[in-house]
Amino acid sequence: MKMVKLLCVLAAGALLATSNASAQNIRLGADVDAGTLDPRVMRDTTAYRVVNLLYDGLVQLDASLQPSPNLAESWSNPEPTMWIFNLRDGVKFHDGSSLDAGDVVFTFETILDPELKARFRSLFTPIETIEAVDDLTVRITLKEPYAPLLSYLDMGIVPSDYVEGGGDLSSNPVGTGQMQLASWERGSRIVLEPYGDHWSGQTPANGFEFVVVGDNTARAQAFEAGDLEIIQSPLSPQDIGRLVGDDRFQNAIMGGLGITYLNINVSDPLLADPQLRRALSMLVDQETIVGQIYEGVDQVATSILLPSSWAYDASITQPTFDPEGASSAFAAAGWTDTDGNGILDRDGQDLELTLSTHSEDPNRIQALEYIQFLMQENGVNASISISDWPAFSAGVRVGEHQIALLGWLNIVDPDRLMYAQFHSSGTLNWGGYANAEVDQLLDTGRASIDVDDRIAAYQAAAGMIADELPYFVIAYQGYQVFYSGDISLVPDARGMMRSAARN
């Protein structure tokens, strides 16, 4: 691992040294390259943060997650199932074309088209129709009331004429944001420059350069050396502790909007048994993983609901670390060591499974190795598969994993973490979980405009998930950002950089 990190540091240094970007650019470290810069189909955190600078949505979520006007200067909700959005006049895309209501309609109709395979399609399926009333007015009619709608309307609006004319938003994005793409060296850097014709009339003095440095420690070292000016989660705990004590840098440490979890593939014949999933969950030592491997920068999780959420209930708990309880649960599920070789078996089959994660995060690898050790110590023949993020995530998305360690970010509403992931029709339900009662509760949580009804629905669903364990949530993630003294920044737990500016 030390040699790998050394090579990453050398590679990062060579990469940074070859930069020809403007000195006014703010240089940010990114853990992975963006897969696409089309906001409709983006899938990774880097893309999410870059896209937020390139595109505007109907609304913008501020650092406290409250929606504020963006492309829509105002809106109304005349009926529980109807929203009217009044667009700003004179908004221009980066290619010089004018934004109108047809672009908004096109954006959401294409997201809802199953052929596009938009990652966030499920966030908008409650939409019955979206119509251009006139050039500057959009009407959204819902199938039923949909409480979290405004929280999701920061989705970047794309130019319909450009896309329909064959333009490729994936590699040549065209938005209305204050930044436009200057260059993109795949696997290396994404350079953004100010857009001088933004509707706000304000042109930022600086651009942004997202520099890909996959290893967390190499990224922190590049920051300390002055080659990067902003780094943020994910960061290694040992680096966080050191940087907090360095008075050259500003920082913000706060509770995040993400989880680190085990995605258990319930479609796998072995893992279809909830009793076995419970036994395996009892071999996850959260306290050690969070307290030692992550050095306390995160918080031990108890359920799928975040403590920062209005739906949180501390009484909803998943299993905790209990090897003796796991042994009893294995036995109850029919798994015992009949031949004395230290591996549990049933009907002549040894209990074997594969744990997987991605190579870019050394702490996740270490956590997975520790879980593997505990499972092997308790009769489970667990192996590990490590691959780079593109290969790993592609496999998980098609359900090729058994137990995968990964995370979710940007959880601005309980619906964001639960509907697409646990509803039987959910587009992010990679483990194939299906429970008709959970489906009904998640539908209720979406449709109700009464907060108490939403709380009751999400808490009931979270209790069932904690019992049936399609996910085992290891930690509630913290968020950390470090930045140079000559930069001003309003910290945002989602990692958004619209407020970043050079002083």
Fold of the domain built from segment(s) 59-164: Dipeptide-binding Protein; domain 1 (3.90.76)
**HEC letters along 358-427:** ECCCHHHHHHHHHHHHHHHHCCCEEEEEEECHHHHHHHHHCCCCCEEEEEECCCCCHHHHHHHHHCCCCC
Q: What are phi and psi of 464, to 5 degrees?
A: -70, -40
Element (H, E) at 13: helix 2-17
What is the average pLDDT across 468-489?
Answer: 96
DSSP string over 446-503: HH---HHHHHHHHHHHHHHHHHH-SEEEEEEEEEEEEEETTEE----TT---TT-EE-
pLDDT at 362: 86
Check whether 12 has a pLDDT greater than 60: no
In Å, what is the CA distance from 187 to each residue of 33, 52, 214? 5, 20, 10
pTM for the complete prediction? 0.81
Q: What are phi and psi of 228, to 5 degrees?
A: -125, 150
pLDDT at 449: 83
In Å, what is the CA distance from 296 to each residue of 236, 286, 341? 11, 11, 37
- List 181's β-bridge partners, or say none: 192
Check whether 17 has a pLDDT greater than 70: no
Tokens, residue 482: 């470090």
Query: How big is the chain by its Cα radius of gyration, in Å?
Result: 23
Give the model's confidence band at 13: pLDDT under 50 very low, under 70 low, under 90 confident, else very high: very low
User: Which 3 state secondary structure label does DSSP give 58?
Assistant: coil
d(CA 156, CA 410): 15
Tokens, residue 285: 């030592």
Give the model's confidence band at 5: pLDDT under 50 very low, under 70 low, under 90 confident, else very high: very low
What is the average pLDDT across 135-151?
Answer: 95
Q: Side chain identity at 21, as an amino acid letter?
A: A
Give the model's confidence band at 7: pLDDT under 50 very low, under 70 low, under 90 confident, else very high: very low
What is the average pLDDT across 57-85?
Answer: 93
Q: What are phi and psi of 74, to 5 degrees?
A: -165, 165
Per residue in 109-128, pLDDT (tens digit) is 999 999 998 988 989 999 99
Does residue 269 have a cis peptide bond before it, meaning omega lies within 30 degrees of 0? no
Across the chain, mean pLDDT equals 93
d(CA 311, CA 413): 9
Give the model's confidence band at 71: pLDDT under 50 very low, under 70 low, under 90 confident, else very high: very high
User: Which 3 state secondary structure label does DSSP give 204?
Assistant: coil
**Using an 8 Å Cβ cutoff, are 499 and 489 in contact?**
yes
Q: Where are the domains of the chain?
A: 2-31+178-248+485-502, 59-164, 256-478
Per residue in 190-247, pLDDT (tens digit) is 999 999 999 999 999 999 999 999 888 999 999 999 999 999 998 888 899 899 999 9
d(CA 193, CA 184): 12
- Return the closest-CA partner of residue 502 out of 126, 208, 78: 208
Fold of the domain built from segment(s) 256-478: Dipeptide-binding Protein; domain 3 (3.10.105)
Residues in the chain: 503
Count of Cβ atoms closer than 10 Å to residue 21 Cβ: 18
Residue 147 vs residue 65, higher pLDDT: 147
Architecture of the domain made up of 2-31+178-248+485-502 = 3-Layer(aba) Sandwich (3.40)
**Using an 8 Å Cβ cutoff, are 439 and 424 in contact?**
yes
Per DSSP, 122 falls in state G
Tokens, residue 367: 């956590």
Per residue in 24-63, pLDDT (tens digit) is 899 999 999 999 999 999 988 899 999 999 999 999 988 7
Q: Is 352 exposed, middle or buried (0-12, 13-18, 19+ CB in 10 A)?
A: middle
**Using an 8 Å Cβ cutoff, are 127 and 112 in contact?**
yes
**Using an 8 Å Cβ cutoff, are 31 and 214 in contact?**
yes
**Using an 8 Å Cβ cutoff, are 36 and 43 in contact?**
yes
d(CA 234, CA 259): 12
